[in-house]
Amino acid sequence: MQNNYIPNIDISSLITSDFDNDNYKNVSKEIKKASEEIGFFTVTGHGISNTKIEKLLSTCRHFFYSSDKEKLKIAPKKWNPNTDTVYRGYFPSSVNGKEGLDIGDPLLSNDMKDLLAKEKFEVNHDMSYLNPEWQIVIDDYYNSIFDLGMKLFKSIISVYSSNIDLADMAFVRPKTLSTLRFNFYPKQDQPVEISEQDGVALGCETHVDSGIMTILYQDKKGGLQVQNRHTLEWHDVPHDPNAYVVNSGLALEYLTNGKMKATNHRVLFNQEERISIPFFFEPSYDFKLDPKYLEIKEEHKYDIDNYEDFLTNSLKKFVEYDRPN
């Protein structure tokens, strides 16, 4: 496995420069190349401090180290019949070997009745009973990681089109379906499954992500691997505590008419306890995944759906979203 298969890109120019700056353009070209050829890259110079990340990790550990009774209070009704929650909240390790907590946009509030009438919009649980600092830490990180997603998406837009305002049209808070997830991998004795391709023990099955992109932080090396689309070989994603891992999602593949493809990835079985924090950067529910927005004019390879319908169909293959209404 090649250690240098996944490129690292210093994106500090995206944080500090304008679209017409040469450094910005060069970084955008690097992102385009990585997204079209591999579908994965790591980023440094992202502007999110180690202090902010450490606060988030500490908050995350505090939650997962709580009792099952406390955690199940905010589980969807598949696991807690006393709640009306279906889409957000805690899911136990019995689902797929890891515990998880899905958090939506903190800007969504109980007075937004039109949004709350939709299936996937649920106000986040009040977690102050476990940690009085919870909401401050979550709000701060969510805002920062969402802003990073916007900068990366604008960079991608810039290599295809002059329509940079598309990002603000596609991602209107709190109409987006973006999700911040905490994954807690406890010490495990048994893998989730054995790969049919090469017999490797897995801690997370082979899949592609649904959204525009996923921005992942890992507290330690966790065995994340990416599949080469041409050779079908698997390559390790290097772990850097100062970097995020970014990968293209299926929605970006649709929006770019297949130019940027979602890439298969998996996680090797690892007996060590660890935490990963992906941010699924997903557009507004009513945004249409139409390549014309990027001035891509060739014949469409995919049906053009609004994102809500697209996501509903895409999530059917994920066991953690097998939740009755």
- Look at residue 37 in the predicted model and tell me its pLDDT: 96
Note whether residue 3 is domain-resident.
Answer: no
Which conformational region is residue 15 in: left (phi greater than 0), alpha (psi within -120 to 50 degrees), or beta? alpha
pLDDT (0 to 100) of residue 19: 83
For 16-34, the pLDDT digits (tens) are 888 889 999 999 999 999 9
In a domain, 2, yes or no: no
* Distance separating the N- and C-terminal Cα atoms of the chain: 43
Q: What mean pLDDT is predicted for residues 134-152?
A: 97
> How much is the pLDDT for 122?
94
In a domain, residue 306? The reply is yes
Q: Record the tokens describing residue 310, joined without a space.
A: 């697209």
Task: Assess whether pLDDT exceeds 90 at residue 53.
Answer: yes
Q: Provide the domain limits for residue 181.
A: 8-321
Whether the pLDDT of residue 162 is over 50: the answer is: yes
Asked if residue 67 is part of any domain, the answer here is: yes
- Tell me whether residue 1 is in a domain: no
Indicate the range of 85-89, 195-199, 267-271 predicted with least confidence. Answer: 195-199
The CATH number assigned to the domain holding 264 equals 2.60.120.330
pLDDT greater at residue 120 or residue 321? 120
Rounded to whole angstroms, the Cα distance separating 28 from 43 reads 12
pTM: 0.94
Number of domains in the chain: 1
Tell whether 220 is covered by a domain.
yes
What is the pLDDT at residue 318? Answer: 59
Q: Which residues of 139-152 are buried (b: 16+ CB within 10 A; e: fewer)?
A: eebbebbbebbeeb
| pLDDT for position 28 | 97
Asked if the structure places residue 315 within a domain, the reply is yes
- Judged against a pLDDT cut of 50, whether residue 1 lies above it is answered with no
Instruction: Give yes or no for residue 262 having a pLDDT over 60.
Output: yes
- List pLDDT tens digits, range 288-312: 999 999 999 899 899 888 999 999 8
Q: Token digits for 226?
A: 């990416």
What's the mean pLDDT in 268-285?
Answer: 90
User: Could you tell me if residue 141 is inside a domain?
Assistant: yes
pLDDT confidence bin for 119, thresholds 50/70/90: confident
